[in-house]
Copies of this chain bind each other. A is one copy, B any other.
Amino acid sequence: MKYFDDINIGDRLALGSHTFTAEEIKAFATLYDPQSFHVDAVAAAASHFGALCASGWHTIAIWMRLRIRYAQRDDAERAARGEPNATLGPSPGFRDLKWVKPVYAGDTITYVSEVVEKRLSQSRPEWGLIHVRNTGTNQNGDPVLAFTGTGFVERRA
């Protein structure tokens, strides 16, 4: 990825889209979030959601997958141009996660990341800290998910 020094507030990454099928909604939820409205379409129809919908954690896990795939494509392209890649360090965490609307079976969610803050790390001078606002929007243009993540990114030597 870009070095910390080359990342700017306002940088915007179109991470891509994902369609949530009933099968994968149930597969994720059976393992990690076995509430009836995530694993059983009939029970979901009778619930406050009204239809089968994805675990909120599933909607973030797909964000993570798309974010890493984006980084891997980006790194490969940079390497093909003979440019060095910065190392993406660990993430200290996230804040202000909101699940705004349910993600129903068949919904297609489009994910975008935007850099909202950057600062040098006090404790690790070879790293900077990037704050990124992440959003997911469904096929009707409705926001379904938003959160702010933080990650360490390597600085130029």
The B-contacting residues of A in range 1-44, CB under 8 angstroms, are 31-35
Once the chains bind, are A93 and B89 in contact (CB under 8 Å)? Answer: no
* Cross-interface CB contact of A61 among B35, B57, B96, cutoff 8 Å: B57
**Copies of this chain held together in the complex:** 2
Once the chains bind, are A33 and B65 in contact (CB under 8 Å)? Answer: yes
Q: Secondary structure at chain A's binding surface: helix, strand, loop or mixed?
A: mixed
With A96-B95, A97-B94 already in contact, the answer to whether A32 and B65 are too (CB < 8 A) is yes
Once the chains bind, are A32 and B61 in contact (CB under 8 Å)? Answer: yes
**Interface residue A143 (Cβ < 8 Å from any Cβ of B):** no
Residue on B nearest A145 in the bound complex, by CB: B93
**Interface residue A48 (Cβ < 8 Å from any Cβ of B):** yes
Binary per-residue interface labels of chain A (66-86) against chain B in the complex, 1 for a CB within 8 Å, 0 otherwise: 001100100000000000000
